[in-house]
Amino acid sequence: MKNLKVLFLGFILLAGSSFFAATNAKNRSNQDEKKTEVNVYYFHTNIRCVTCRAVESETKKNVEELFGNKVRFTAVNLDDEASEPKGKELGVKGTGLLVIKGDKKIELTAQGFMYARTNPEKFRQIMKEKIQPLL
């Protein structure tokens, strides 16, 4: 009977450790998945010109229409104290447009300001060419 109790306790311990190992693996997998998400960040300040607003609206529209829920768009106001950590994390101090996937960072600021207002189709094509390979 004593051997049966030891065997039962061993089984419980083994099953419990397997459960925790599986849970930890799942948590690591979720963390890795978050690192591999594609995020598009538009950094701005409180004072914005017409072109700044066009970069934000065209970027948001392009992300939604081209990639749906596969890519996340976030506008970040650097004048908002709550947004300062994100700017520091990504090394952004001023207006900018970045595509981030894990450690990979693609700068699209110049293209955004050059084309979002004057040639939105060209800007859309550039975004598609730069982001599609990340998916």
Same-domain pairing of 13 and 72: no
Same-domain pairing of 84 and 124: yes
Indicate the DSSP class of residue 107: E
For position 36, what pLDDT does the model report?
77
Q: Which of 42, 38, 87 is nearest to 67 (CA)?
A: 38
Same-domain pairing of 55 and 113: yes
Same-domain pairing of 23 and 41: no
Same-domain pairing of 27 and 62: no
Same-domain pairing of 14 and 69: no
Same-domain pairing of 11 and 66: no
What's at 125, amino acid-wise? Answer: Q
What's at 69, amino acid-wise? Answer: N
Same-domain pairing of 64 and 3: no
Q: Which of 37, 46, 63, 70 is nearest to 116 (CA)?
A: 63
On the question of pLDDT at 80 being above 50, the answer is yes
Residue 5 pLDDT class (50, 70, 90 cuts): low
Structural domain boundaries, residue 18: 1-35
Give me the DSSP letters along 49-72: -HHHHHHHHHHHHHHHHHHGGGEE
pLDDT in tens, 30-71: 455 455 799 999 999 999 999 999 999 999 999 999 999 999
Same-domain pairing of 74 and 46: yes
Phi-psi region of 75 (alpha: psi -120 to 50; beta: other; left: phi over 0): beta
Same-domain pairing of 14 and 63: no
Residue % of the chain over a pLDDT of 90: 72
> What CATH number should be reported for the domain holding residue 89?
3.40.30.10
Same-domain pairing of 41 and 4: no
pLDDT top residue among 55 and 21:
55
Q: Is the pTM of this model over 0.85?
A: no
Same-domain pairing of 110 and 90: yes
The count of domains in the chain is 2
pLDDT in tens, 95-119: 999 999 999 999 999 999 999 999 9
Mean pLDDT across the chain, nearest whole number? 83
